[in-house]
Structure 1
Amino acid sequence: MLGIFERLALEAGREVMRVYRTGCAVDQKSDSSPVTEADRESEKIILAGLRAAFPGIPCVAEEEASGGVVATDLGDTFFLVDPLDGTKEFVNRRTDFTVNIALVRAGVPEIGVVFAPCTGRFFSGRPGKAESIEVNDDYQIVGRRPISVRAGTAPLTIVASRSHNTPETEAYIRSVGAAELVSVGSSLKFCLVASAEADVYPRFGRTMEWDTAAGDAVLRAAGGMTRTLDGKPLAYGKRKQRDDADFANPHFIACGTAARPT
């Protein structure tokens, strides 16, 4: 399954970069967030591949969900797809947007891939094994190395959202004390913690499960964890929530095992 995820992420990433180079119109979804041809074409590639390879596993994908297309009964196991996380970065001609594919089982993101096609950074995770993957200019995998979270450094390195920072996030950063701050877009924030390039990713703004599942899977495979503010692991498959939409996440803190500030 992980091999299929990797292949589809590379194929989708190639298409995203085609649109990035040629340019495209930017539309607005009902929630006022941007969507482009790259989002739609990437999602088509990923969903076609997943449904052909695993016809019995339901898919939840951002653009389909935005259009109201979600299986009534997801069951215990399903895919979460964000075909272009960081659309604002994409539109603004920055480089840290990603393609994301994850498998969720019993509320846990078990397998995931995160591919940043503009920079070539590629991460994968399955239980007990996380990797950074080297990709050449032809979108072929040419190398792999294992990654894992690090013990907390002094000062901690905190990675935060470039486009979605909030006063709550700023307050949390101040509460940690002296810390180095890295600002980056998309699900790469999880991967920087997973690959020992950062220690903590606090998110006190809105996210959806497709935004976080793949990066969270990589982080957990690397020995880290994503927890809600009450200390519980961030769960997936949240529907019929009393105070929020289906698949919406609460605030959370993602970090390496040995760097878990409260």
Structure 2
Amino acid sequence: MMQQLLPIANKAAIEAGKAILNIYESNSFDTQKKADKSPVTAADKAAHTIITDYLLQTNFPVLSEEGSHQDFQTRSQWEYYWLVDPLDGTKEFIHKNGEFTVNIAFMHRNKPLAGVVYAPVLGDLYYGSAETGVYKNDQEIPKLSARRTLEELLLKPSITIVASRSHLSDETKAFISRFSNVTLTSMGSSLKFMLLLEGKADLYPRLFPTMEWDTAAAHAILNASNRGVYHTNVKEELTYNKPELVNPYFLSY
């Protein structure tokens, strides 16, 4: 199934990225505030429309950050669906640092099966699943070595931790302080997860609220590469399509 669906999601992400870049380069963002006070721009809305048009051709439902959010009673009946963040890192977009992505995940009930993460400014397209393998710009990325335990990471003589550029909370700072000889890398959007995928970071702690569409695409890609996105007790991975679409705090490694 993923062999047929991923090319459609890739095309959707790339076409959305073109629309995002047109607005990005125009400097006319038409920024507004949503009910939760987070920013939304004309680029978020344009990308949502393009992606939804592509994905609905597959006859699977779409849950997008910028679309109408179906109630849980409806969503709980979905076996397969798409979970989309048309523009992840809107603050990075507004600040014009290029660190924003298009995130598209294909889901099976409460688990991400496949993901696409596209960074329009960088021109980098990450995609994959356990079925297809994982790729960056159509070059396969070999699976990473077996995941270390958190205890093993704590004992490493040096460690690279990636953190949010816009949301470095006090809880995150306290967690990072448990490690010795830390190299801290800041990054926006789902690109933080891609640093783990490419072996450029060891750990991504997120002790600040996120939504399901922020993590699902990267989560699928990491799962196909011997990495995961875990509850802070590191006993189980995050699950999706919950009554409330807010993620718990997590550790990804």
SS in 2 for 1:122: strand
**Are 2:24 and 1:26 aligned?**
no
Contact 1:147 1:194 in 2 (8 A): no
Q: CA deviation at 1:95?
A: 0.7
Aligned with residue 143 of structure 2, among 123, 144, 148:
148
Runs of at least 4 residues off by over 3 Å: 68-72, 147-154
Unmatched segments (≥5 aa) in structure 1: 134-142, 240-245, 256-262
Counterparts of 2:157 and 2:206, CA distance in 1: 21
**Are 2:198 and 1:189 aligned?**
no
**Are 2:81 and 1:83 aligned?**
no
Q: CA deviation at 1:232?
A: 1.1
Aligned with residue 242 of structure 2, among 223, 226, 238:
238
Amino acid paired to 2:141: P
Q: CA deviation at 1:176?
A: 2.1
Aligned-residue sequence identity (percent) comes to 38
After superposition, the CA RMSD in angstroms is 1.6
Unmatched segments (≥5 aa) in structure 2: 149-155
Which position in structure 1 is the counterpart of 2:151? none
Q: CA deviation at 1:22?
A: 0.7
Contact 2:72 2:242 in 1 (8 A): no
Contact 1:207 1:248 in 2 (8 A): yes
Which position in structure 2 is the counterpart of 1:252? 250
Aligned with residue 173 of structure 1, among 176, 182, 203:
176
Cα shift readout 1:163-212 (whole Å, capped 9, x = no counterpart):
01101111111112222111000011111101211111110000000011
SS in 1 for 2:247: coil
Aligned with residue 16 of structure 1, among 12, 20, 23:
20
- What are the residue-to-residue correspondences of 1:40-189 with 2, within 5 Å? 40-52=45-57, 54-55=58-59, 57-65=60-68, 68=69, 72-74=73-75, 75-127=78-130, 129-133=133-137, 143-150=138-145, 154-189=157-192
SS in 1 for 2:236: coil
Amino acid paired to 1:146: I
Contact 2:157 2:180 in 1 (8 A): no
Which position in structure 1 is the counterpart of 2:41? 36
Amino acid paired to 2:14: L
SS in 2 for 1:94: coil
Counterparts of 1:71 and 1:172, CA distance in 2: 33
Q: CA deviation at 1:223?
A: 1.1
Alignment length (residue pairs): 236
Q: CA deviation at 1:69?
A: 5.0
Query: What is the TM-score normalised by the length of structure 1?
Result: 0.86
Q: CA deviation at 1:222?
A: 1.3
Query: What is the TM-score normalised by the length of structure 2?
Result: 0.89
Q: CA deviation at 1:238?
A: 0.9
